[in-house]
Amino acid sequence: MVTTTHDDRHGTAGSADDLLAIRGLRTEFGTGDRTVRAVRGVDLSIARGEILGLVGESGSGKSVLASSILRLIRPPGRIAAGEIVFDGRDVLAMNTRTLSRWRGRDIGIVFQQPQGCLNPVRRIGWQVAEPLRLKKGLGRRAAWDEAVQLLRSVGIPSPESKARAYPHQVSGGQAQRVMIAIALALRPKLLIADEPTTALDVTIQAQILELLRDSCRTHGTSLLFVTHDLGVIAKLADRVAVMYAGNIVETGSVGGILESPRHPYTRGLMDAAPRLRSSEGERLRDIPGSIPNLARPIPGCPFAPRCGLRKELELDRCDREMPPFVQSAERHAVRCWGLPEMRTANRTNAAAPEREIVR
């Protein structure tokens, strides 16, 4: 018997205890025949204090999903359908003034290119102090003192001196620490980090990951960490959501995903990740093909044209129907017609059409 699920403690949609619950989210760009459907009916949730890794290739929709949560999609983009509920509040129903107060105070973000996000003509200390003045109501001196303390807390050397520096006078790793200090200034309930370590060398990357993990644990902050690197997720996250072509295809605990990946795409990502492989001399394998054109209809599983399992098992259904999420183990759910339990259910249903897959 196969159990399909909409509960993100096992699959995707969330529970009353979650800080963030996303249901049926669709985000599109353009109009008519040129509409790119970047996020295609995503269900996802994040528990309070949880670190969730969102992983997938470039172009899979990860950054668009993160921007959608913050309602940072600009025309010709739009959120076409779905719900985003944050701490019991409907994000899509918020007016502009409420959104402005909500961003930074309740939810923070760290981007990939910190130097491009910092104001080049303002001293670093005032950029950290600004949200403290605007949203916490601190005076200039108090905000400056707290900004220096924040810079110290994220490992900036000589924080009093660096607070008086301009962004071009600090390294890329230090600039990313400044962005983390700004994001954490108001102790948000959720922090979104969108590929924040991609441009950094391995040593600095490890330091930033440790800083994010420790800061979130200390303050009970939930973290959505967006990356293409499963090796990074292995060091940081509690749980993983794998995204492909605008869809979540597998979710589970870090241990469950890394030890027993069930979706062919997840296995492909692991085969292509050098830091996740232990056998010396074993060659890395890339995933053949590319992500489908998201401006065109995708009637079945979007990974089907690239999927070796679909070819091996000759699963024509993969080309016609999107598989449901199936709970395959505790806190582990997968979308794949090639799962042994799905194939068994399909054969049973074919022999006895009156029986249905249990939901």
| Spatial contact of 109 and 90, defined as CB atoms under 8 Å apart | no
Residue 121: how many CB atoms within 10 A of its CB? 8
Instruction: Supply the DSSP symbol for 303.
Output: T
Residue 142: how many CB atoms within 10 A of its CB? 14
The closest of 226, 252, 323 to 260, measured between CA atoms, is: 252
The closest of 329, 359, 337 to 259, measured between CA atoms, is: 329
| Spatial contact of 223 and 241, defined as CB atoms under 8 Å apart | no
| Spatial contact of 295 and 240, defined as CB atoms under 8 Å apart | no
Structure tokens at 308: 């070796």
Tell me what pLDDT residue 276 has.
52
Tally of residues, the chain: 359
Residues of the chain with pLDDT under 70: 1-16, 274-284, 344-359
The closest of 67, 84, 66, 77 to 24, measured between CA atoms, is: 84
Determine the residue type at 205: Q
Task: List the 36-47 sheet strands across, edge first.
Answer: 36-47, 18-29, 77-86, 89-90
Model pTM score: 0.88
Tell me what pLDDT residue 2 has.
44
**Tell me: the pLDDT tens digits for 36-56?**
999 999 999 999 999 999 999
Any idea of the CA torsion for 59, 63, 232, 220, to the nearest 10 degrees?
-160
Tell me what pLDDT residue 80 has.
96
3-state secondary structure 78-111: EEEEEEEEECCEEHHHCCHHHHHHHHHHCEEEEC
Tell me what pLDDT residue 25 has.
98
Residue 89: how many CB atoms within 10 A of its CB? 12
**Sole residue written with tokens 């979706």:** 263
**Sole residue written with tokens 């690197």:** 229
**Rounded to 5 degrees, what angle do the CA atoms 24, 34, 80 make?**
25
End-to-end Cα separation, the chain, in angstroms: 10
